[in-house]
């Protein structure tokens, strides 16, 4: 009895999968996005979804001319790994899905991309900065933004060379993100000859008074804080109130108008590094901002323009495949390989060529200064430095080339 | 019932309202003695910790290369003591709530940390509203602080009474664990309903006090601690006033009659501030090294010494300390000097007998909850003003620390709560200030050390430093 039931169940499953598989021959290509559409980070997630939608509307034309319908399906990962993975399992079962755009959170992208990779489905990420996203070297995982292990050093280089800082006190929030970023900063700061007065972790959420006394006693020229705005905004307000007069710096965890709300006037003059500048920075994105604002009635949030670019990269890869193989629907593996082969793609945020891990060969990093203590004026923060850095893979390849070049390093 | 109370009142005249008690005696009992007690606690704890710190500096003179621990401690000492006292008073005020309730009901009210949280949120609402409506110009800052704290106290106190009536009184006869579980439940309910209310009304999770927008509250008072700056200044064994010279590269210099040649010293610190070699004007050979002769960044070192060791004391810290002291004086008077206070003491000694003597036990328990809640709420508002931002989850850590402080001082013992809070605050502040200089250790391990101290004390004095008040139980 039991075995027959299992057999029947298996048959039904096979039929269902078959039905889905046959659906794919209906000349439908689906592009899917996974971003948080509900919850505290939905402001960013919804804006990313809008940008993908806009990209599909505007850029799918050439594919549709070849006789395919391009559909867009947004998923809500709720910024939660469990939800992201269960969505991913649902997504890979739809054979007409050829590309995923997402996620916002590295913590969601990493487990979800395991599912995509098992099913050869390509993911193009607009926003995930954790090194592990691409360091697994999956053929299906790509991103169009920068990495934390280059973001930290960017801050250190800027502090040492542009600001002329010679002593720094480093704090972090003891999380993977904050401590990781702070460690990358410290490494580069030491390499540049900066004096690192201390490297400290604190989980304290609200009262920094006792933590501040050794900092004030050592009078660092800069405090670097690897953490999120909810902690660092309060910290700088208290540090200034206690008489700290030096500089303050951090990573993209600062990038929220809430930082200004918490810090007030103390937030002014804070520097933070980011992998995504506001859309207004990119000269090519003016038309995008206009179209987006016309369609959705508000200005695009951070990572919206990157989402548009990610979608474009995926669509162009599919189009190239369709053109080269005479209009036959490509397999997922072919799409993944073609996306990875993207070379000298010219998009709104500049040129993109993926390295073998799926990082852009050259990443863009920004140093941004907070100009106002008013949260309303957060978008007016000025980009004061724009730094291009090779991805780690490319950098190590270049290094090997240099080493391999004969007589480049005379024996010493 | 009330008639009985009145009649019993006429029979026994309480010593506290004895008309023969002189004004001098009153001042001594309710002002001088408690103030003296606080001073003794603060000075005692500070002196012990200072000695301990310098002892540590003797053991590890240079925990990390280039760090002179003794000099760092000297620089930070005033700052560490002041922050320790201010956070210590906050812990004390919360600890009082735990200890008072334990005194009368012999149960730990774990929802008490939420009285602190609610107080801080109410304080935020009051201050924010007054500020946003622009009344602030007309309001004297002192009045604003007073109104904020008092309203927080009133609200938290009332809430505590309501919770006692609804959640604890029906369980009064139940086994001890039952109200404990109820308290934890109440705590969650309060956190999440506050979060829901604040999200709905303000659409904001972080509640930022407008203190950083009020200049009067936001301007620190610089206090110069010259005596601490002198430290050891040692040029070849000779003391030069006010300069910590552990190093600079000199061709030669002279102190008194002795000329030193080619002495490498390292880097000079003034009051803990490092001076780079390039900042110093090189002395010419034979020139004598007096504070006037050394220039740093073109300024004579003597001028710099004047501003060298300045500790910025925040107004909000001072407000915390003054308010806490005032409130503790009032509490002391209330508990030990009034009829109602006597009722509370009677109930805490023996509930049944107190009831037989005509004291309304339920009313006394409610009053205890009100006082405890009000102190928690007041502490919350003061903490919020000092920290700047609060959230519905802000109660947890101070709550745990204050509970620890209450146990440390001796649970059920009001003076013990004060001592425990101050001790814990100062330990935390000193550890935060010193641990950073040890490699591999750091501020994130402060709590481990602080609680190790606690365990150590409790091993030797299981009922806390001052002892649990067990005299009433036979």
CATH code at position B91: 1.10.3470
Q: How far apart are CA B200 and CA B203, in angstroms?
A: 5
Element (H, E) at A181: helix A176-191
Q: d(Cα A52, Cα B431) in Å, to the nearest integer?
A: 51
Whether the Cβ atoms of residue A259 and residue A229 lie closer than 8 Å to each other = yes
- The residue range of the domain holding B357 is 2-221+312-460
Q: Is the pLDDT reported for residue B441 higher than 80?
A: no
CB B428 within 8 A of CB B451: no
In a domain, A10, yes or no: no
Q: What percent of chain B stands above pLDDT 70?
A: 74
Do A154 and A140 belong together in one domain?
no
pLDDT at A10: 65
Q: Which of A202, A218, A237 sits opposite B212 (nearest CB)?
A: A237
**Residues with Cβ within 8 Å of residue B358, at least 6 apart in sequence:** B1, B4, B5, B7, B8
Same domain, B280 and B428: no
Q: What angle do CA B147, B151, B154 make, to 5 degrees?
A: 140
Q: Across the interface, do A213 and B429 touch by the CB < 8 Å criterion?
A: yes
Shared domain check, B208 and B114:
yes
pLDDT at residue number B17: 53
Same domain, B156 and B168: yes
Cis peptide before A103 (omega within 30 of 0): yes
Chain position carrying tokens 């109602």: B340
Phi, psi of A410 (to 5 degrees): -60, 145
Q: Name the helix (H) or strand (E) containing B59.
A: helix B33-59
* pLDDT score recorded for residue A54: 95
Give CA B189 to chain center in angstroms: 28
Residue B133 maps to a domain: yes
- Are residue A98 and residue A135 in the same domain, yes or no? yes
pLDDT at residue B234 tops 80: no
Tell me which of A169, A206, A266 to substitute to probe the interface with B (most B C-beta atoms closer than 10 Å).
A206
- A264 → closest Cβ in B212, B316, B428: B212
Q: In this structure, are A27 and A128 located in the same domain? A: yes
According to DSSP, the residues that pair with B311 across neighbouring strands are: B223
Residues A44 and A118 in one domain: yes
Inter-residue contact A116 to A90 (CB < 8 Å): no
3-state SS string for A253-313? HHCCHHHHHHHHHHHCCCEEEECCCCHHHCHHHHHHHHHHHHHHCCCCCCCHHHHHHHHHH
**Residues B303-308: what's their mean pLDDT?**
45
In chain A, % of residues over pLDDT 90: 36
Residue A202 to residue B312, Cβ atoms within 8 A: no
Shared domain check, B331 and B284: no
From the CB of residue B213, how many other CB atoms can be counted at a distance below 10 Å? 14
pLDDT given for residue A8 in this prediction: 64
Does A268 map to a domain? yes
Q: Do B241 and B329 reside in the same domain of the chain?
A: no
Do residue B387 and residue A198 have CB atoms under 8 angstroms apart? no
Residues of A in contact with B297 (CB under 8 A): none
> Best interface-test mutation with A: which of B76, B220, B389, B442 has the largest number of A CBs within 10 A?
B389
Asked whether residue B189 is domain-assigned, the answer is: yes
Best A214, A235, A261 member to test B by mutation, with max B CBs in 10 Å, is A214
Q: Nearest by CB to B272, from A201, A217, A262: name it.
A: A217
Quick one: tokens of B278?
């390039």
How many independent structural domains does chain A possess? 2
Residues A355 and A376 placed together within one structural domain of the fold: no
Say yes or no: A217 and A120 in one domain: no
Whether A408 is in a domain gets the answer no
For residue A262, the chain B residues in CB contact (below 8 A) are 206, 208, 388-389
- Token match 């709530």: residue? B97
Cα–Cα distance measured from residue A144 to residue A406, given in angstroms and rounded to the nearest whole number: 35
Provide the pLDDT for residue A294.
93
What is the count of residue pairs from A and B with beta carbons less than 8 Å apart? 120
In a domain, B346, yes or no: yes
Instruction: For residue range A248-286, list pLDDT tens digits in order.
Output: 999 888 887 788 888 888 899 999 998 877 777 788 888
- Helices and strands in chain B: count of H runs, count of E runs: 17, 13
- CATH of residue A86: 3.40.50.2300
| Nearest chain B Cα distance for residue A211, angstroms | 6
Same domain, A343 and A260: no
Q: What is the pLDDT of residue A166?
A: 87
Instruction: Write down the pTM of the prediction.
Output: 0.74
In the predicted model, is pLDDT for residue B271 greater than 60? no
Is B255 within the bounds of a domain?
yes
Given a contact cutoff of 8 angstroms between Cβ atoms, the answer to whether B378 and B118 are in contact is: no
Task: List chain B residues with CB under 8 Å of A202.
Answer: 443-444
Chain A residues closer than 8 Å to B429 by CB: 209-210, 213
Q: Residue B471 domain-assigned? A: no
Question: In chain A, what is the straight-line distance between the N-terminal and C-terminal CA atoms, in Å?
Answer: 80
Do residues B373 and B379 lie in contact, with contact meaning Cβ atoms separated by under 8 Å?
no
Q: How many CB atoms lie within 10 A of CB B218?
A: 20
Which residue has better confidence, A159 or A257?
A159
Q: What is the pLDDT of residue B195?
A: 85
Q: Tell me the C-alpha distance between B189 and B202, whole Å.
A: 19
Chain B hits for A208, CB-CB cut-off 8 Å, are 387
Asked if the model's pLDDT at residue B260 lies above 50, the reply is no
Residues A330 and A387 reside in one and the same domain: no
B355 and B445 fall within a common domain: yes
Mean local confidence (pLDDT), A73-89: 90
Co-location of A246 and A307 in the same domain: no
Q: pLDDT grade, residue B458 (50/70/90)?
A: confident
Q: From the candidates B212, B217, B399, B444, which should be mutated to test the interface with A, based on the most A CB atoms within 10 A?
A: B212
Tell whether the model's pLDDT for residue B303 goes beyond 60. no
Residue holding tokens 């989402």?
A: A307
For the segment B427-432, the average pLDDT, to the nearest whole number, is: 91
Residue % of chain A over a pLDDT of 70: 91
Tell me how far the alpha carbon of residue B368 is from its chain's centroid.
Answer: 23
Residue B209 belongs to what H/E stretch?
none
> CA of A87, closest CA in chain B: separation in Å?
29
Output the pLDDT for position B307: 41
pLDDT of B356 > 50? The answer is yes
Let me know if residue A412 belongs to a domain: no
Mean pLDDT rounded to a whole number for chain B: 77
Residue in chain A nearest B86 by alpha carbon: A209
Please report the pLDDT score of residue A92 as a whole number.
Answer: 92
Same domain, A387 and A260: yes
Model confidence at B422, pLDDT cuts 50, 70, 90, reads very high
Pick from A200, A201, A242: CB nearest B220: A242
Closest residue, chain A, to B431 (C-alpha): A210
For B121, counting Cβ atoms within 10 Å of its Cβ (0-12 exposed, 13-18 middle, 19+ buried), the class is buried
Q: Which of B283, B308, B333 is the last residue of a domain?
A: B308
pLDDT at B97: 92
Query: Does the residue A369 lie in any domain?
Result: yes
Phi and psi, residue A88, nearest 5°: -60, -40
Write the ipTM.
0.71
Give the closest of B317, B387, B433 to A206, CB-based: B387
At which of A360, A375, A407 does a domain end? A360
Residues contacting B274, CB < 8 A, separation 6+: A167, A219, B267, B268
With respect to residue A411, please indicate whether it lies within any of the assigned structural domains.
no
pLDDT over 90 at A106, yes or no? no
Are both B300 and B408 inside the same structural domain? no
* pLDDT tens per residue across span B317-346: 888 999 999 998 999 899 888 999 999 999
Residue A79 sits at the vertex; the CA angle it makes with A356 and A358, to the nearest 5 degrees, is 5
Question: Do A224 and A267 belong to one domain?
Answer: yes
Residues A221 and A153 in one domain: yes
Q: What is the mean pLDDT of chain A?
A: 85
Higher confidence at residue A59 or residue A364?
A: A59
Q: Which chain A residues have any C-beta within 8 angstroms of a chain B C-beta?
A: 40, 167, 174, 198-214, 216-219, 230, 233-234, 237-238, 241-243, 258, 261-262, 264-266
Residues B368 and B304 in one domain: no
Q: Across the interface, do B389 and A266 touch by the CB < 8 Å criterion?
A: no
CA pair distance B425, B405, nearest whole angstrom: 9
Same domain, B197 and B265: no
Q: What are phi and psi of A199, to 5 degrees?
A: -130, 110
Contact A209 B317 (CB under 8 A): yes
Whether residue A4 lies inside any domain: the answer is no
| Alpha-carbon distances, residue B99 vs A34, B25, B109 (angstroms) | 52, 28, 9
Residue A57 falls inside a structural domain? yes
Do B41 and B182 reside in the same domain of the chain? yes
Is B317 a member of any domain? yes
> Is the Cβ–Cβ distance between A366 and A349 less than 8 Å?
no
B189 and B62 share a domain?
Answer: yes
Number of compact structural domains in chain B: 2
Residue at B469 is within a domain: no
- Contact flag A217-B312 (C-beta cutoff 8 Å): no
% of chain B residues with pLDDT over 90: 35
Tell which of B260, B281, B308 closes a domain. Answer: B308
- Looking at per-residue pLDDT, the higher value among B211 and A24 belongs to B211
> In the predicted model, what is the mean pLDDT of residues B219-239?
47
Q: Which domain holds residue A161?
A: 149-274+365-395
> What is the pLDDT averaged over residues B37-41?
91
- Mode of pairing for the β-strands spanning A271-274 and A362-369: antiparallel
**CA–CA gap between residue B80 and residue B425 (Å, rounded):** 10
Residue B268 has pLDDT above 90, yes or no: no
Within a domain: B356: yes
Q: Do A214 and B433 touch (CB under 8 A)?
A: yes
Radius of gyration of chain B (CA): 27
- A57 — pLDDT class (breaks 50, 70, 90): very high
| Torsion from C-alpha of B186, B191, B196, B199, nearest 10 degrees | 170
Angle between helices B339-349 and B315-337 (to 10 degrees): 80
pLDDT digits (tens, 9 = 90+) for B199-212: 788 767 788 888 87
Residues B138 and B49 in one domain: yes
* B433/A169 Cα distance (integer angstroms): 14
Task: Please tell me the distance from the alpha carbon of residue A266 to that of residue A215, in angstroms, as a whole number.
Answer: 17
List for chain A the helix, strand, coil content (%; round to 5): 50, 20, 30
Answer whether A242 sits within 8 Å of B312, measured CB to CB.
yes
Quote the distance between the C-alpha of residue B318 and its chain's center: 11
Question: pLDDT, tens digit, for every residue of B97-152?
Answer: 999 999 888 888 999 999 999 999 999 999 988 888 877 666 777 888 899 999 99
A230 contacts on B by Cβ (under 8 Å): 205-206
CB contact under 8 A, A210 and B429: yes
Cα dihedral sign, B106-B108-B111-B113: positive
The domain boundary residue, chosen from B284, B308, B332: B308
> Which residues of chain A neighbour B212 with C-beta distances below 8 Å?
237, 241, 264-266
């Amino acid at each position: 009895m039991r075995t027959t039931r299992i057999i029947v169940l298996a048959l039904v499953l096979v039929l269902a999968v078959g039905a889905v598989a046959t659906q794919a021959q209906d000349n439908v290509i689906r592009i899917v996005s996974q971003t948080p559409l509900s919850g505290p980070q939905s402001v960013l997630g919804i804006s990313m979804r809008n940008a993908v939608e806009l990209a599909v509307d505007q850029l799918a034309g050439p594919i549709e001319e070849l006789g395919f319908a391009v559909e867009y399906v947004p998923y809500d990962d709720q910024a939660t790994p469990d939800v992201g993975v269960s969505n991913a399992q649902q997504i890979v079962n739809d054979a007409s899905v050829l590309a995923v755009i997402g996620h916002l959170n590295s913590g969601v992208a990493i487990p979800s991309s395991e599912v995509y990779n098992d099913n050869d489905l390509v993911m193009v990420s607009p926003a995930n900065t954790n090194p592990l996203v691409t360091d697994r070297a999956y053929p299906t995982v790509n991103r169009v933004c920068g990495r934390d292990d280059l973001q930290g050093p960017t801050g250190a280089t800027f502090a040492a060379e542009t600001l002329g800082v010679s002593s720094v006190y480093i704090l972090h929030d003891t999380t993977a993100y904050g401590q990781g970023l702070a460690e990358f900063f410290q490494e580069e700061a030491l390499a540049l000859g900066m004096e690192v007065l201390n490297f400290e972790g604190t989980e304290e959420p609200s009262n920094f008074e006792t933590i501040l006394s050794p900092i004030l006693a050592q009078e660092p020229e800069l405090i670097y804080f690897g953490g999120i705005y909810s902690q660092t905004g309060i910290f700088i307000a208290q540090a200034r109130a206690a008489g700290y007069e030096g500089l303050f710096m951090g990573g993209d965890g600062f990038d929220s108008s809430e930082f200004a709300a918490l810090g007030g006037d103390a937030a002014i003059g804070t520097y933070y590094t980011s992998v995504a500048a506001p859309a207004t920075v990119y000269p090519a994105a003016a038309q995008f901002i206009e179209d987006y604002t016309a369609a959705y009635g508000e200005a695009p949030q951070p990572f919206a323009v990157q989402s548009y670019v990610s979608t474009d990269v995926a669509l162009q890869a599919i189009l190239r495949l369709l053109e080269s193989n005479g209009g036959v629907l490509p397999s997922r593996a072919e799409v993944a390989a073609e996306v990875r082969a993207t070379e000298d793609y010219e998009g709104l945020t500049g040129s993109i060529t993926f390295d073998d891990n799926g990082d852009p060969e050259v990443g863009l990093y920004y140093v941004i200064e907070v100009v106002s203590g008013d949260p309303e004026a957060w978008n007016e923060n000025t980009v004061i430095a724009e730094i291009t850095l090779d991805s780690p893979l490319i950098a190590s390849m270049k290094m090997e080339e240099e080493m391999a070049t004969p007589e480049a390093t005379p024996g010493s | 019932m009330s008639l009985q109370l009145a009649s019993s009142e006429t029979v026994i005249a309480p010593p506290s309202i004895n008309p023969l008690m002189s004004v001098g005696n009153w001042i001594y009992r309710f002002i001088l003695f408690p103030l003296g007690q606080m001073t003794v606690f603060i000075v005692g704890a500070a002196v012990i910790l200072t000695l301990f710190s310098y002892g540590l500096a003797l053991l590890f003179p240079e925990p990390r290369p280039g760090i002179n621990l003794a000099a760092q401690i000297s620089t930070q000492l005033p700052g560490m003591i002041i922050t320790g006292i201010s956070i210590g008073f906050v812990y004390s005020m919360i600890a009082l709530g735990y200890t008072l309730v334990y005194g009368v009901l012999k149960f730990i009210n774990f929802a008490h940390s939420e009285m602190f949280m609610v107080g801080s949120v109410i304080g935020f609402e009051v201050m924010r509203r007054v500020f946003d409506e622009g009344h602030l110009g007309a309001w004297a800052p002192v009045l604003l602080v007073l109104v904020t704290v008092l309203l927080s106290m009133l609200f938290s106190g009332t809430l505590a009474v309501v919770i006692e009536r609804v959640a604890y009184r029906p369980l009064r006869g139940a086994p001890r664990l039952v109200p404990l579980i109820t308290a934890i439940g109440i705590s969650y309910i309060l956190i999440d309903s506050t979060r829901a209310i604040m999200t709905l009304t303000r659409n904001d999770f972080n509640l930022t006090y407008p203190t950083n927008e009020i200049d009067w509250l936001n301007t620190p008072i610089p206090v110069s601690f010259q005596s601490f700056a002198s430290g050891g200044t040692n040029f070849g064994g000779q003391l030069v006033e006010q300069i910590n010279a552990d190093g600079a590269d000199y061709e030669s210099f002279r102190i008194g009659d002795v000329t030193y040649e080619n002495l490498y010293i390292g880097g000079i610190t003034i009051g803990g501030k490092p001076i780079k070699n390039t900042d110093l004007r090189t002395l010419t050979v034979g020139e004598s090294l007096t504070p006037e002769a050394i220039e740093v960044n073109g300024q004579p070192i003597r001028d710099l010494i004047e501003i060298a060791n300045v500790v910025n004391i925040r107004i909000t810290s001072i407000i915390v300390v003054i308010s806490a002291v005032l409130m503790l004086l009032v509490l002391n008077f209330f508990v030990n000097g009034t009829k109602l206070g006597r009722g509370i003491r009677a109930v805490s000694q023996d509930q049944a007998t107190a009831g037989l003597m005509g004291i309304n036990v339920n009313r006394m328990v409610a009053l205890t909850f009100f006082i405890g809640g009000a102190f928690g709420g007041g502490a919350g508002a003061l903490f919020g003003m000092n920290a700047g931002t609060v959230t519905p989850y802000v109660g947890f850590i101070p709550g745990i620390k204050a509970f620890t402080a209450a146990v440390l001082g001796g649970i059920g013992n009001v003076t013990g709560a004060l001592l425990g809070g101050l001790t814990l605050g100062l330990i935390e502040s000193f550890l935060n200030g010193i641990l950073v200089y040890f490699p591999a250790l750091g501020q994130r391990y402060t709590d481990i050390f602080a609680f190790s101290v606690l365990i150590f004390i409790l091993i030797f004095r299981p009922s806390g430093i001052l002892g649990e008040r067990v005299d009433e139980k036979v």
